[in-house]
Structure 1
Amino acid sequence: MTYFVVQVRSGTEIEVKDMLNNVLNRVGDSMVKAIYAMETFTEIIRDGNTAVDLSELNSEDISEHLYVKRIQAGLNNLRIACDKLKEYKDANSLALLETYKDSIRGLSKELREVRMNTKKISSVISGYILVELNVDFYYFPDNLWHLVKSVPNVTGIPSKYNVPQEEVDAFFQQVDTTPEVEMQFEELLSSEEAVEVRNEILYEANKVIGTDEEKVLLEKIDIIATDVVESINEMKNDINSSNSIKRNVERCKAYIRRKRQTVVVPLDIFLNLYNDIEVQSLFPAQSSFEFFKRFISILCGHDKMVSME
């Protein structure tokens, strides 16, 4: 068996793999053993989820991913068409413009619904796919390259020569396709809003001092004050080099998206943070403060020297 690298437009690796498989099946090709896009997925936990699926990728997941891509492409084409139609003021153009707008609204709604329970799938080797052949070739066969380059978004081959087996083995050993989980927490408040809400909560807490209700209210203040994004990024920089989960922690990402604090963690860390019952009840999506407490707990459990400043 031999391997060849094919260069594709970044972000289209999975689509190219699917289209190339379809082309090869249509012509009855028996030369290609497998095509690798090295797929991984991110499960997104947000308000409104109806299910969380942490299982491995399957053909249905890939099909849903490609369906989302087709909806997005359709939306982009409609928006471009709308922009062009706005240049015309005749009745037919205005009527067609309204029709396109209705289609955009319909597709946008469908896209939101499909995305709600669909894994976010991507390739870990951005801009490339690997083609494995059943036979040994030193050069990429001309007849096969003719088929490959007919597929949209294929941009070329970095080398016409095959990839040495030892390099292929090393690549498959090093590439990390570990799934990730993205958690979207409560919306951020402005400084003025945070002060106002904090004062309101303190006022209510003072009425119920010494009760369980007071504890709940004070935790709400902790939630408002918790800057998960800044804290996670600081902890990634401060983690001890001997910490057994250092590699996974460094893969964590924290940022603000649509005014929400958002954290992406490797699946292994997520499963250490939450048990099966909590995952199925979507508890992780509720509180950034609770997430942060658990994150610190597992970090300190693996390394007593973690800086908490």
Structure 2
Amino acid sequence: MKRYNKFICTGLLLLFHFSLSGQNVIDLRLNELLIINTEDFQDDFGVQSSWFEIFNISYGTVDIGGCYLSNDPNDLKKYTIPRGDVLTKIKPRQHVLFWADNKPYRGSFHVNFTLEDSPVLILTSSDGKTILDMVTLPTDMEPNQSYGRVVDGEGSFGPNSDDSGWAVLSRTSPSTNNYTLDGKSRSEMMKETDPYGLLMAILAMSVVFIALIILTFVFKGTGSIALKSFQKKADAYNKTKKVSLAETSAETFAAIAMAIHLYANENEVHDIETTILTIERGRKNYSPWSSKFYTLRKMPERRNK
């Protein structure tokens, strides 16, 4: 039974691990930035400033609170993203926009540096040491021209990023996808590849059968483990202890002899089988229910005054 509990605990731990894997900050990417903003997007105060966005590549919500932003490799903790702000939770495959206006008092998404004189932009984990992503800022950017990943979240990342996957974008796209689908969608391409749906049906049935096979092995394994555990308990319960005649007391022999005597000389009607009861019918000619003595009705009597 202890082994069976170990399997259950291991499964729960794996499930808990995978449920938390979608909430890891390693899934964050610097995605797009604008260095010189004169006619582009405005912040909540109606001011046009440098901005950059961070993209969550995972399919789980990631809280960016507690991480750090910097434009100086020697000072990775230059700006701390506040904790406890519900807006710092980035939903799956979504973006969050920061303003590099050197005015952090305007809110959680206003950092204490600008991009105009910055050589790099660095995103660091909450430990203040692990660089999640960094990008080298180009020096020849035109006003209102953004620099970002051609496809959201794709390309090099981390402390050794070589900016592959980054390019000057044809248009700015703050808080939205850099890449827009102008051609055929994946569903349309799939329809051309498999017009009758045979491939999709085979894949679907394969997934179902593989899941059934896995469940079969799981149930058989857990069942055999449980049966072995119960069998061990049953064997331990039914195990008898051998006792020598020298260790047996005289009272025990007397009780055994008395039981054999009663069994051999018993005259009552009984069956050989111990699980069958024999009921003998008794006949009585007299029954109190028919006796006039117990009637509730009395004959009327005449009394003279």
Q: TM-score, normalised on structure 2?
A: 0.18
Of structures 1 and 2, the larger Rg is shown by 2
More helix by proportion, 1 or 2? 1
